A and B are shown apart, each in its own frame.
Chain A
Amino acid sequence: MTDIGYVRTEDAPLLPPPASEVGWKGWLKQNVLSSFSDYSSPGAELTSVLMVIVTIGVLYFGLTILWEMVRFTLIDAVWSDPDGLKRQVCLTVDQKPAGPHPSGWSGACWPFIDAKWKAFMYGRYPESELWRPDLVFLIGAVGTAWLVSDAVTKRWLWGVVMVVAGAVLLWWSTLPIENDGVALLNDVYDPATASPFGQFFDRAPIGAFILIAVGILYLLLVQPVGRKTVAVLMLTVFPVLSYILLTGGDAEGDVGFWITLAVIAGFGLMLWLIARLFGDNAFSALLLSLLVFVAAIYFLSAVLGPTTGFGFTDSGLGRVGEGTVIRLPVPVDFTGQLLAGIGAIGLLFLVMSGQMLGILIRLVLAVPVLIMIVNAYAEGTAATSLPVGWMIFGLLLIGVIGFALMALVGISRPEWHSAIGNFGRGTGRMIFLLSLLVGVVAFVGGHWFVDLLELVAAGETDKFLSSAHLAAHDEHGMLGLTAEAMEVERNLWILPEVETNVWGGLLVTLVVSFVGIIASLPLGILLALGRRSQLPAVRILSTAFIEFWRGIPLITVLFMSSVMLPLFLPEGTEFNKLLRALIGVALFASAYMAEVVRGGLQAIPKGQYEGADSLGLGFAQKMRLIVMPQALTLVIPGIVNTFIGLFKDTVLVLIIGLFDLLGMIQSSFSDSNWSTPVTSPTAYLTCAALFFIFCFGMSRYSMFMERRLRRGHAR
């Protein structure tokens, strides 16, 4: 082996990278200097010099703004108003009245925001009822967190969270009234003389019970409730619940009645769609939780009433005096009818489908629902005497015990749960239609149905729904109760009505945007399908609809709904302002939603359609089972982005005189107690910050979903 000069026998030593490539120097070089260190040619020189100038300019500009923001909002800001001076704390010495600040001072006036915060959040929503929007916000926040977080699989965690949250809410509601003003069902009886339990129950928020019930159910359910279920709950139960909580659930007048009907019908339709699209677990969870809730209320009042001296009496929920008749609450208002209607749907499902084992369970489950419905629609139940009451109560007790047993046993018997969960299959669809019909008829029906029969018998069908007929009902109430009895029931069951014209602030912003997006989803899906339809008339109409709404600014839509809508409808049809705006926003949003969904539909490979065709699936089956699940998942980021746009656009409702967040802020400027030069910048900044938090959060989520979906589809 000759020595071949230069062969290395060991590895070259690993040298550290040049100092200019790593560490802060390297970072600086790569991220800052590289863009202006190219002097190789005249052109590059020019670019580099320009870059230096631009960078310095931008840096200076950016830092100035940043510094001004920090100075205004933090350093020079006024934080508190200990002496209650109001605007004076935010004025300078040379202004009138003279404030404590040197001339030329400017800084945020946070005491102003503090003073107006409630108005910014809820508008003029009555103070004593603020727990209702709070509860809606809370449920919304929990649901959303659940929806977006990855913790959905840890169902026990969420179950515990809900039970704990419910318990905290209950505890909070037991605090003395003077401190927080939380009041629940009503103030019919005197809290001072009520038993502790009565006092407690009277003021415990319904939401606490709902939370606890759902939480327990969640823990009990063998199959974990997934994100889909939550999505379903958020899209269906949450809006209805919010509607009841926020308005008091008692939409008045003729239109109110029809709206209620529409809500029910829409609700049923939505449930069905969702159950078909996402499976039946959501459905069962929903029904079960409602049943538990209703049963709990009945149970607590009926069973514990006699011993605690607290229960439902002729004069309402309260302390039972000597000789008063304890009776079961009759749901005469919207809330009760809603529950009864849903109950009717569920009942038919429960009883009429599935296997033998299931039928047994369902029968047990069905009893309380049946009672509820009978109770709600039987004539003269309001005066149900004690024996009848106890009979019903006995049945109810059996139902509740049966349910409790089933729930307990069910922990170790998964097949029972699947039996409950299976009621959407097979003949279920036909039964659904029937039950929907029965539910709606049960809801609409009751007295109306009886009336119709009577009028048919008397040959006076034309009087049905005439104004005289309606007036008669207003006197006797929907279920033939006297006005006084109605009032009692109202106080008993209904949350005090809060008219929408006292709503305001963030509440309105959220309501408008949520309703817009939720209502636009089904409509958007239909329009997207229509636009891709083979049928020319359908396609043209859908396209025209979409392009029309997309072609005009939202403000004209709002004008149209506030000024022209009353002209389009039969004379005398009235709508409240918020509802009109909601209709406009929903139609507007549905056009955008349709385009988003269409994007999703187009992204589904043709093979999927053809595959479905080759399996012999019909159009509806193809869409439901093959295309939509894929397309809707794909367009989640698009939906979120549409929502962000809509959320920001909702501020336009202030132009038609609704007081959303920005509207409240604007109107707060006219409070001369707080008018200073720094008031409006402070309030605008606050508004901007609130919107930013919401929109930025949502856009991050949308990006996250986009990445996730892209990963999922990577090949």
Chain B
Amino acid sequence: MASMTASETEDTGLTSLLYDPKARGLLFQILLLTAVVAFFAWILDNTITNLASQGKKSGFGFLGETSGFAILTTLGTFVMEARAGVATYFDVFWIGVINTLVISFFGIIAATLLGFLMGIFRLSNNVILRGFATFYVEILRNIPLLLQIFFWYFVVLRALPDKRASGISLGIFGEFPMNVTGLYIPYPLFLEGFSSVVWTFIAACVLAWTISWLAKKRQEATGRQFPSFWVGLLIITAIPLFAFYQMGGPLELEAAKFLNVGDPILDANGEPTGRTASKIKAGYIAGEGGVIKPEFIALWLALALYTAAFIAEIVRAGILAVPGGQTEAAKALGISPSITLRKVIIPQAMRVIIPPLTSQFLNLTKNSSLAIAIAYPDLVSIFAGTALNQVGQEIEMIFMMMMVYLIISLGTAAFMNWFNARMMLVER
């Protein structure tokens, strides 16, 4: 049969080439590639024509130019040491990137913690927790994120005390006052001797790790257990605290100072300048203490709360995916519920959880671009927003912005694939 088919193929020559799957596939691919290349060439040609007729500049030369506008003080401006009118567009770009990464980082941490908590709550046998988590998940994930951001920013902002009021106090001792201009946190001033506290802390960590390693060894050898977690905790907290006390407390927390109307204004050295605070000057003094801007808080809250609802569902699904027999088997072996959770269920659930969790992290990062709606200076907002309006080179700037997101996305995806593969290998 085979030889016959072969001879047939040879006989008919060209016609059969048309019916040969390989040849057809090749032809189709060539056609497709040609079409795609032609399409892009067409776009490129149009773009060049359009740019030329609009007399627009192209190229990345604008990156070195001075931007000339001020940017809301954030970690990005702090890191880039950007001052108004001095920062170049390239600095602006990096400020945007940093701010995007910062909001994503904090958002991911908060969303993960809250999401796991809510996911576990949803499976709790405590009806109150279960009910609360269900409500939380259903409501938060069914309302658009942008609406939630607006809510946190505009509704909650309106409810906050005025700039000239000292604000509501958060924290146990009220050390975190908050008003409409932001949340003020004490700024740590490291005095002499603080470095030794840090070293003590590192040493304590090493010690704790060694103990736990030894304890594990011993348990493997003799079966005797040692409460290495609690001991470790004690070592890590107590020793550095003791060192801190011994060094005479080499850390001062400088809270933001509040200026009432009529208070004397001090200069940089603390000398009175002879002027008193007008109404415009009253409020928390910028530059002393740390401040978290309300834009950041609103965006962070909205991102974290929204994404946590999805993470909760992922966690729930992951835990439910672990067969009930696993829990029963652990019970039969006499393993306590908390250890069952820690050593049996979670490791298996994690394998199910990680891939969708990754995509949630990426979603959060991408969603942080909604910052543009509330003036948090992320990449989209200041680079593709403010800077683009000044420079007007859409192609280059949107390209740069997209590249950043693509690198983050593809990078994370690659890392997670690798991580996932590792997790899978440990399986059996």
Contacts and interface: CB of A to CB of B under 8 A. Distances in A.
B231 to A, nearest CB: 15
* B128, B138, B158, B366 interface centre (most CB from chain A within 10 Å): B128
B198 interface: no
Contacts of B128: 32, 55, 58-59, 62
Interface residues of A, number: 62
A534 interface: yes
Contacts of B51: 567
B424 interface: no
Interface in A628-656: 644, 648-649, 651-652, 654-655
A58 B394 contact: no
A568 B47 contact: yes
A699 B154 CA distance: 29
A31 B126 contact: yes
Contacts of B394: 563-564, 567
A550 B151 CA distance: 27
B405 A538 contact: no
A11 interface: no
Interface stretch (B25-33, B87-95, B108-116): B25-33
B97 interface: no
B398 A560 contact: yes
Which of A54, A556, A569, A687 gathers most chain B CB within 10 Å?
A: A556
Interface stretch (B211-219, B255-263, B369-377): B369-377
Contacts of B380: 553, 555-556, 559
A140 to B, nearest CB: 20
A55 B47 contact: no
Interface in A650-698: 651-652, 654-655, 662, 666, 677, 680-681, 684, 687-688, 691-692, 695-696
Interface in B13-47: 25, 28-29, 32-33, 36, 43, 46-47
B295 to A, nearest CB: 16
A680 B126 contact: no
A682 to B, nearest CB: 10
Interface in A19-47: 30-32, 34-36, 41, 43-44, 47
Contacts of B172: none
Q: Majority SS of interface residues in chain B? A: helix
B146 A30 contact: no
A681 B155 CA distance: 6
B405 A553 contact: yes
B56 to A, nearest CB: 9
A566 B54 CA distance: 12
Contacts of B388: 563
B409 A551 contact: yes
Given A551-B410, A666-B150, A535 B125 contact: no
A571 B50 CA distance: 6
B140 to A, nearest CB: 10
Interface string A183-204: 0000000000000000000000
A554 B141 CA distance: 18
Max count, chain A CB within 10 A of own CB: residue among B121, B144, B146: B144
A577 to B, nearest CB: 16
Contact of A651 (B132, B146, B405): B146
A55 B124 CA distance: 11
A607 interface: no
Contact of B410 (A547, A571, A654, A696): A547
Contacts of A30: 125
B131 to A, nearest CB: 8
A535 B50 contact: no
Contacts of B145: 648
A548 interface: yes
A145 to B, nearest CB: 20
A684 B36 contact: no
Given A552-B406, A652-B370, A699 B150 contact: no
A17 interface: no
B29 A551 contact: no
A696 B388 CA distance: 38
B226 interface: no
- Size range of the chain B interface in the assembly: 35 or more
A433 B372 CA distance: 49
A692 B402 CA distance: 31
Contact of B373 (A536, A644, A655): A655
Contacts of A652: 146, 370
Contacts of B141: 695
Contacts of B369: 553, 555-556
Interface in B139-153: 139, 141-147, 150-151
B135 interface: yes
Contacts of B402: 552, 556, 560
A51 interface: yes
A655 B366 CA distance: 15
B42 to A, nearest CB: 9
A541 interface: yes
Interface in B48-69: 49-51, 53
A537 interface: yes
B183 interface: no
A30 to B, nearest CB: 7
B59 to A, nearest CB: 15
A570 interface: yes
Given A43-B338, A537-B33, A691-B142, A556 B46 contact: no
Contacts of B46: 567-571
A555 B129 CA distance: 36
Contacts of B132: 58-59, 61-62
A454 B373 CA distance: 56
B336 interface: yes
Contacts of A651: 144, 146-147
B367 interface: yes
B7 to A, nearest CB: 21
A21 to B, nearest CB: 14
A547 B395 CA distance: 20
Interface in B395-409: 395, 398, 401-402, 405-406, 409
Given A58-B129, A58-B132, A556-B380, A691 B144 contact: yes
A55 B147 CA distance: 29
Interface in A507-537: 534-537
Contacts of A31: 125-127, 130
A547 B402 CA distance: 12
A571 B53 contact: yes
Given A538-B29, A559-B398, A571-B53, A648 B135 contact: no
B384 interface: yes
Nearest to B33: A537
Contacts of A695: 141-143
A375 to B, nearest CB: 39
Contacts of B395: 564, 567
A649 B144 contact: yes
Contacts of B129: 35, 54-55, 58
A87 to B, nearest CB: 15
B125 A34 contact: yes
Given A58-B129, A571-B46, A564 B398 contact: yes
A551 to B, nearest CB: 4
Nearest to A47: B338
A687 B401 CA distance: 31
Contact of B146 (A550, A571, A662): A662
A677 B125 contact: no
Given A567-B47, A652-B146, A680 B135 contact: no
7 contacts: A55-B126, A534-B25, A553-B369, A553-B380, A556-B402, A567-B50, A644-B142
Interface of B: 25, 28-29, 32-33, 36, 43, 46-47, 49-51, 53, 121, 124-132, 135, 138-139, 141-147, 150-151, 154-155, 158, 336, 338, 366-367, 369-370, 372-373, 380, 384, 388, 394-395, 398, 401-402, 405-406, 409-410
Given A55-B129, A652-B146, 7 more contacts: A32-B128, A44-B338, A59-B128, A59-B132, A553-B369, A692-B142, A696-B142
